[in-house]
Structure 1
Amino acid sequence: MSKPTAAELIRRTEELLPVIAERAAKTEDLRRVPDETVRDLRDAGLIRVSNPTRYGGYGLDIDTTFEIGWRLGQACGATSWFYTVSQSHNWWMGTASEAAQEEYFASPDVISSSAYAPTGQTKRVDEGWWISGRWPYSSGVDHADWVMLGALDLESKSLYALMVPRADVSIDDDWHVSGLKGTGSKTIVIDEPVFVPRHREMKAGGAPDLKWRDEHERGSYGVPQFEVMPAVLATPLIGIAQGAVTEFADRTQKRVIKRGPNSVSMAEDPGAQFRVAESAAEADAALNIIRTDLRELIAHGAAGDALTPLDRARVWRNQCYVAKLSVSAVNRLFDASGAGALFASSALARMHRDVNAGSHQAAVQWDASAARYGKVRLGVATPELW
């Protein structure tokens, strides 16, 4: 059977958007992605897009995951976040040990969640790790087959991600938040120490793995992980911004307000026209920046060209800047949408909540990335920046 092309997968994604948009309110109420949405993503073949080809993937790289992810964000930011985060794990697992890959991809439609901050108690021993404690903010954990937990090796000061079966952990249902409620980013709990064998550890942010680049034929494995991963969280925000432009335009074309004895069409209001133009420009700019950077990263990795410190700082800067652009685009439209947009049931209100919540994730916050870029560009960078 022939593998679907990127264009075919994008077509399948766009067919799902109306029903995912219809479920957006339910996704918020549930505080997790509905089971039927996960089933739809699986049935459309979208869960295995980031898998290595040998484990059911289609031979596509992370740029296809991005194209699917931002489109999902137009309909539901939380569903997009769930999708891009879980897909990033399937991409990253392509660099794990062979034994770990075999375990993880035993089902090609595998889903995992993560909590990379090393907040639990961990001890590295010769054979592996003993871990216990709490790891918050694990998006999509309700649907996970595996969880990726951050662990700090105190001796080497190196950060690892440990691959743990979902059956070995419990969930604290504590995700009561203002935005991105549907991501289900709850806390993972391990009360009694669990042993994780050494083959299930992955060093976070390591150097490019050219072995797996060549075996999987993916240029993205030829660049450092930290230059790829922030795009995972920027992608849903771009989708939300694109969706907000469409929602505002549709709403404004139908909106009529009273000004004294007269009824005025808001579509004819210059303020509304200026706002939709500027927000659309920001949303389109954000989309094109990430598209261009991912294309460049994949090309660099495929050719074996090392990224310079300035290249790396620029990619980080851009990924955080598109989050800034996305927030600006949505806030401008929300501010011009009147009292009707204040209702919790308003799609634009949900987009406003979600894009601002997503921008709080440390990986896409502007200040740190701007400082990093400025230091490198001005010649005062230090190795600790990475």
Structure 2
Amino acid sequence: MAPDNSLENRDSDITASDLVKLASKIGPKLFDRRHTSSKNRCLPKDTIDDLKESKVLRACMPKRFGGFELPFGAHTDVAMELAKSCGSTAWVSGIIGSHNWWLGKYQPEAQFEVWENDPDAIVGAAFAHKQGTKGTKTKGGYLVSGRWMWCSGSAHCDWVSLMTPIIKENLPPELAMIIVPKEDYQIEDVWYSPGMRGSGSNDILIDEKFVPEHRITKLADLNKKDSPGCSLNTGPVYKLPMLDVFGYSVAIPTLGCAIATHNHYLSEMTGRVGLDSAKILEFQSQQLRAAESSMEIDAALEIYRSDLCKMWNAAENNRELKPHELNKFKRNCAYVATLARRSATRIIEAMGATGIADSNPAYTSFSDTIAGASHRALSWDINGTIWGKEMFGLNKNESEVDRRMAPKEKHN
């Protein structure tokens, strides 16, 4: 699907459409490697090299470090295109592309440390962490220990950004994102999943490593219009709140996988015949399933495009997004993933036994859709409830940062 041209940065030498075309060019190679990615539960180095060489990961990265600083959504349009060939590559691309955006909101010194000598540095991230994970104040920074889960693309990361409860004497813990170089953490290989197998979403372990003050940015600050990084990067894309719009960075690769499932289905059914030699595509049941699944995809795309326009309008006008707008974005994003899951499931059910063969690319894309839609940011139970409370006037003005604090972390 081509990106909405109205969202392109006209002052940039490269547009979102250009990056989508570059993603399309490397697609055949990614498709050929998809079994290797799945078998190894990790993207091949050649795939990472292709992403770097094409520069598609730089869509929303600050211009001063070699990025294109395009509107939010350029990186997800790239991921949606990549999903036609390999869901795991699309997932990692969408996530790493979002990190290249939100790192532009971090402390300026941290940005220079990561990018000044290597604009192709891969920055992974993990939000979920085990109890006991913490950063404790010490001279010049913090001593950090803990375990973080589901760091996608972990094997290829040069740095990781980790959500961490920061402990200060006589004060409640405060969530922050810390930046850690690869020599300061270990990767535990735990990623065994029927979908997104090649994403390599493993655990990150740290045992009392020192993290200097400049590599730590409060989560609440990253969710503000004027974050610490805005003193360095003044473009409108860095005015958007990190947590409240991030969900589309995983929703759209997921939607791309549903689109791929639908495309593979149409291709396979075109020449398929039943036991009575009747053409399968002439069955009304198949036609109805194809129609309804395509409707769900189109509806999801409309929701996504509409939200991007609203986000960008606010960012360009330097307007603070209101809580009810942010809650609606989260609702919409989760529903996009819900529509993607429904579409892909309906298609696989229509394909019979051939639809669940590991060798069938439709099944791979379906499994990737289900895995992607399982991300916490895309949970309809969580995000639908937030909007339901909004409708009944039951929201207590909790921010997304407040919701991220587990009860034990709030009261310890």
TM-score (norm: length of structure 1): 0.94
- Which of the residues 166, 185, 202 maps onto 2:182? 166
Partner SS, residue 344 of structure 1: coil
2:115 is the counterpart of 1:105: yes
Q: Give, in whole Å, the separation in 1 of the partners of 2:320 and 2:393.
A: 19
Letter in 1 for 2:179: M
Contact 1:148 1:162 in 2 (8 A): yes
Q: Once structures 1 and 2 are overlaid, which stretch shifts more, 199-208 or 81-90?
A: 199-208
Give 1:1-386 correspondences, 5 Å limit.
3-106=13-116, 107-119=118-130, 120-154=133-167, 155-190=171-206, 192-205=207-220, 206-209=223-226, 212=229, 216-258=233-275, 262-384=276-398, 386=400
Q: Give, in whole Å, the separation in 2 of the partners of 1:57 and 1:292.
A: 25
Shift of 1:123: 1.3
Residues 133-182 of structure 1 show CA distances to partners (whole Å, capped at 9, x for unaligned) of 32121100101010111211243432111100011111111111221111
Change (3 A) 1:116 1:124: farther
Which residue pairs with 2:406 in the alignment? none
Shift of 1:372: 0.6
- Where do 5+ consecutive residues of structure 1 fail to align? none
Contact 1:48 1:57 in 2 (8 A): yes
Contact 2:16 2:59 in 1 (8 A): no
Residues 232-254 of structure 1 show CA distances to partners (whole Å, capped at 9, x for unaligned) of 11011110111111111001102
Change (3 A) 1:214 1:269: farther
Letter in 2 for 1:59: E
Runs of 4+ in 1 over 4 A off after TM superposition: 210-215
Identity of aligned residues (%): 30
Q: Once structures 1 and 2 are overlaid, which stretch shifts more, 52-61 or 203-212?
A: 203-212
Contact 1:28 1:181 in 2 (8 A): yes
Residues 310-354 of structure 1 show CA distances to partners (whole Å, capped at 9, x for unaligned) of 211110000000000000000000001011122112111112211
CA-atom RMSD, angstroms? 1.7
How many residues are matched? Answer: 381
Q: Once structures 1 and 2 are overlaid, which stretch shifts more, 321-330 or 264-273?
A: 264-273
Q: Give, in whole Å, the separation in 1 of the partners of 2:59 and 2:262.
A: 28
Shift of 1:215: 5.1
Shift of 1:27: 1.2
Q: Once structures 1 and 2 are overlaid, which stretch shifts more, 376-385 or 229-238?
A: 376-385
Shift of 1:3: 3.5
Q: Give, in whole Å, the separation in 2 of the partners of 1:313 and 1:266.
A: 43
Q: Give, in whole Å, the separation in 2 of the partners of 1:19 and 1:101.
A: 32
Contact 2:106 2:227 in 1 (8 A): no
Contact 2:149 2:202 in 1 (8 A): yes
Shift of 1:229: 0.7
Shift of 1:121: 3.7
Q: Give, in whole Å, the separation in 2 of the partners of 1:102 and 1:310.
A: 35
Contact 2:134 2:166 in 1 (8 A): no
Q: Give, in whole Å, the separation in 1 of the partners of 2:95 and 2:139.
A: 31
Shift of 1:126: 5.0
Change (3 A) 1:217 1:288: farther
Change (3 A) 1:215 1:13: same
Partner SS, residue 190 of structure 2: coil
